[in-house]
Amino acid sequence: MLLNRTGGMVIPFMTVYLTTVLGFETDEAGLVMSCFGVGALLGSVIGGWLTDKIGAFHVQFFTLLFTAPVFIILSFLHTVQEVCLAIFVLSLVNECFRPANSAAIASYAKKGNLTRAFSLNRMSINLGFSFGPALGGFLASISYSWLFYGNSITTFLTAVVFFLYFFRRKERNEAVEEADTDTSFTEEHEGSPYLDKWFLVFSFFCFLYACAFFQLLSILPMYYKEDLSFGQQQIGFILGFNGLFVVIMEMIVVQYAESKFNIYISIILGCLSLLIAYAWLLADHSMMSCYISMMFLSLSEILVLPFISTVAAKRSSEKKRGAYMGVNGLSISMAFIIMPYLATKLIKNYSYDHLWIINVIVLAIAVSGFLFTKKKMPLHEN
């Protein structure tokens, strides 16, 4: 994951690339990122299904292997239609990786260590993300072509390293015990997440959170470039700060949150932290404020993302874990479809500040929703 995310340079700069190099309009860039979301949505469902059918190892390896050449192809495309199609294929294949990776972590984690296992995996992701955008900003200042080739090479190397390390490697720890799941539900509906109404309600509020949070990968880089006139390297450093902060603080914060709060309270605090991040951008537009806002956004990431994965793992049976992780990814993918297009339309017709206000309102609704879900879908605590 560290190797893969260190090479993850294309997506954080995609909207900037589309608007500055290819000359797309803001709403056209939003359309491209919405196609990314459509592919991610299908990838989450297909990836979850494939994980339950053929296993996490095969899904992870082949998605890494097939993603590598798509980055190269993408660098040669110039029309809106071509880029939309390529970005759709890229996200579909790439997103199949997510539920397989989450299911693999759940099967390797010892009982009591599940959230920390997700956090450790995310720490490696964010360590890579702290290097990737900074390196990407440097490469983009020379030529954007270097971004695509660099991302392709590192993805291929990740596939090779993954295969060499995990091929025929047996799970070494106990899987999460069935006692952690809602057995009355799984017996009645065979554990299908699509029939688990309270998990679907929970996933809807995850979707609202994701609509606001994942603007990190599409809207914020464009905001830094268009509204604040930051250079490529400055943008890369701000995005890299997110990864660095999460790497340094995640395990500490997660361990503290696990000892002091239940899962839902951690998620609610994370939503409030993201609300503060966008409210801060409304108050001041200086570079220092961008870093402070990014700090609150990073804290939100720490308190929400590993814990919503834990909810999915605890709610599922072992046989349906891939499907539950797929729905978990589905809520995020839906945000990638809807928010980029709506957000760029709003920016084009009004301003970034109007978008930040809407984000604050959406996050306030998410906080209320998680409080409601906490009462209706209690979880077993380790």
User: String of b and e for 209-224 (b: at least 16 CB within 10 Å)?
Assistant: bbbbbbbbbbbbbbbb
Contact 285, 227 (CB under 8 A): yes
Complete domains list, the chain, with CATH:
2-376 (1.20.1250.20)
pLDDT at 188: 44
Q: What is the model's pLDDT at position 368? A: 95
Q: What is the pLDDT of residue 212?
A: 94
pLDDT attached to residue 327: 81
Q: Give CA–CA dist 251/253, Å, rounded.
A: 6
| CA 31/CA 39 separation, integer angstroms | 13
Q: What is the C-alpha to C-alpha distance for residues 372 and 9, in angstroms, rounded to an integer?
A: 38
Q: Which amino acid is at 56?
A: A
pLDDT truncated to tens, each residue of the chain (382 aa)?
888 877 777 777 788 889 888 989 888 888 888 888 888 888 888 988 898 888 888 999 999 999 999 999 998 998 999 999 999 999 899 888 888 888 888 777 777 777 788 878 877 877 777 777 677 777 777 778 888 888 888 899 999 999 998 887 666 544 444 444 444 454 444 567 878 888 999 999 999 999 999 898 788 988 998 889 888 788 888 988 887 888 888 888 988 998 888 899 999 999 999 999 999 999 888 899 999 999 999 999 999 988 888 888 788 776 777 778 778 777 877 887 788 888 988 998 999 999 999 999 999 999 999 999 988 887 755 4
| Neighbouring residues of 25: CB distance < 8 A, sequence distance ≥ 6 | 19, 348
pLDDT of the residue at 195: 83
The pLDDT, as a whole number, for residue 171 is: 63
pLDDT score for 177: 44
What one-letter code names the amino acid at 25?
A: E
How far is Cα 175 from Cα 32, in angstroms, rounded to an integer? Answer: 39
Closest among 82, 65, 70, 245 to 164, alpha carbons compared: 65
